[in-house]
Amino acid sequence: MRVLSGIQPSGQLHIGNYFGSMKPNQEFVSKSEQSYYMIVDLHALTTLHNGEALRKARLDAVKDCLAIGFDPEKAVLFAQSDVKEHTELTWILSCVTPMGLLERAVSFKDKIKQGIDASVGLFTYPVLMAADILLYDITHVPVGKDQKQHVEMVRDIAQKFNNTFGKDLLTLPEPVIQEEVAVVPGTDGRKMSKSYGNTIPIFGDEKTIEKAVMGMVTDSAGANDPKDPEKSVIFAIHKLVLSDSDAGKLADEYKSGIPYGDAKKKLFEDLMDYFKPMREKREKLTDKKAKEVLEGGKKKAESVAKSTLERVRVAVGL
């Protein structure tokens, strides 16, 4: 099993990133032949148009990954833009990718609704994602339920390429979704996302985190009225940092009528306890260390990517 996942360097790491992608990816490392984790800075260019900010965000993303426990000796941690084969394979794949396939991408439509400019890069985002995955003969991609279509599109693109240029040239990946953490809700009840502005940062200052938690949406139930934990955004996030038994006890408190203000305070305290070791580790990491990790990851990723691209170039006649 070969696994790949990634994160955009476009803002502070939040608990949706961690529980929806990074933590499950870490769990796959021990099961896989090879695991890759990519800082997708080329993808970030669709929304981040500040060179200095992107350079800083890329290093911050590496430090975030190291702080939450990624081991560069067990998984390849690298920056997408450091491996030039990503962009070349993107162009080759775009020459066989049907326009209709891209036009059906739900994420493109969603991002346009959010006010993101409809650039060519945003439209062809799935082709670059396909290149990211296909370069490393990835077999499994851990994704949120809302991103399953992206992996299905990767499979469609790879199949079209294989049908055109030769059987089994590119490996078709499988999406892996852990249902219980497939979509982490944000403070407003929608999926937690930087673009929605509804995130709870992991490495922000305590006041920022507390403000985000205390501002979470609730229903109109009275302070001491019984509450359904399964319908509460607060509980949905809280149970992610609790054992099953503790989550069960908390659910009983909701049913007994815990005030939402008290529930939020409990959540804030437990979040700070859960992420305390990671926050302390993050403070000690330097830009120098991040650059060293990226350089090592580049060498490992590049050797595999070059081999795949050479296979593709021969097949297409380049």
Question: 289 an active-site residue?
Answer: no
Q: List own/partner pairs for 101-109 with CB under 8 A and 24 or more apart.
A: 101/126, 101/153, 101/156, 101/157, 102/126, 102/127, 105/149, 105/150, 105/153, 106/146, 106/149, 107/146, 107/147, 107/149, 107/150
Query: Of the listed 111, 239, 264, 298, which one is catalytic?
Result: 111
Nearest to 186 by CA among 206, 226, 148, 213: 213
Question: 191 an active-site residue?
Answer: yes
For 32, 103, 232, the CA distances from 154, given in Å and listed in that order, are 20, 14, 35
**DSSP classification of residue 171:** P
User: Is 80 in contact with 132 (CB distance < 8 Å)?
Assistant: yes
Query: Of the listed 63, 148, 191, 288, which one is catalytic?
Result: 191
Query: Of the listed 63, 84, 145, 194, which one is catalytic?
Result: 194
Residue 99 tokens, joined: 């326009």
Residue 255 tokens, joined: 């049913």
For 131, 152, 155, 161, 182, the CA distances from 174, given in Å and listed in that order, are 15, 8, 8, 17, 15
How far apart, in whole angstroms, are the C-alpha atoms of residue 84 and residue 167?
Answer: 25
At residue 224, what are phi and psi to the nearest 5 degrees?
-105, 10
The residues annotated with a catalytic role in the active site are 111, 191, 194
